[in-house]
């Protein structure tokens, strides 16, 4: 990729400091914008009454942390961008239940993200 991306600016600590100072002093720059700088909505099936998927773009890319590493958003050491995809209208229904009256106890969660099969966008179906 020959185009400059935010990776080159945000990767070094001094780049983060400069952009942070710019935002604090002027309220402008990359830190004044949404992390997702482009995108849109689309239908995976022309028969749907409205879009069911969202595509979004970020002007930087990050490496996934290795097992045991702290998940910090450190940009890649090379120019890059990220694309994301979200199902906006899932039909699946999971469950969350409480196991204790203690407000600090974690709830039990059964997400069931791929049930029923109609939740799967057409592009993922066989």
Q: What is the DSSP annotation of 63-111?
A: PPPPTTS----PBPSS---EEEEEESS-----EEE---S-TTSPPEEE-
In this predicted model, what pLDDT tens digit does every residue of 25-64 receive, in sequence order? 999 998 898 888 889 999 988 888 999 899 999 888 887 7
Return mean pLDDT, the chain.
83
Q: Could you tell me which residues are beta bridge partners of residue 55? A: 40, 85
Residue 114 DSSP label: T
pLDDT at 42: 93
Residue 122 DSSP label: G
d(CA 84, CA 53): 10
In this prediction, residue 4 has a pLDDT band, given cuts at 50, 70 and 90, of confident
Asked whether the predicted pLDDT for residue 1 surpasses 70, the reply is no
Taking alpha carbons only, the member of 42, 44, 40 closest to residue 120 is 44
d(CA 82, CA 80): 7
């Amino acid at each position: 990729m020959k185009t400059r991306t935010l990776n080159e600016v945000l990767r070094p600590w001094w780049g983060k400091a400069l952009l942070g100072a710019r935002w604090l002093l002027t309220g402008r720059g990359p830190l004044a914008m949404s992390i997702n700088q482009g995108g849109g909505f689309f239908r995976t099936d022309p028969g749907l009454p409205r879009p069911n998927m969202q595509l979004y773009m970020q002007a930087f890319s990050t490496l996934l942390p290795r097992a045991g590493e702290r998940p910090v958003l450190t940009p890649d050491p090379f120019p890059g961008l990220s694309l994301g995809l979200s199902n906006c209208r899932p039909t699946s229904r999971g469950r969350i239940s409480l196991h204790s009256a203690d407000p600090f106890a974690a709830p039990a969660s059964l997400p069931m993200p791929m049930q029923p099969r109609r939740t799967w966008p057409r592009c993922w179906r066989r």
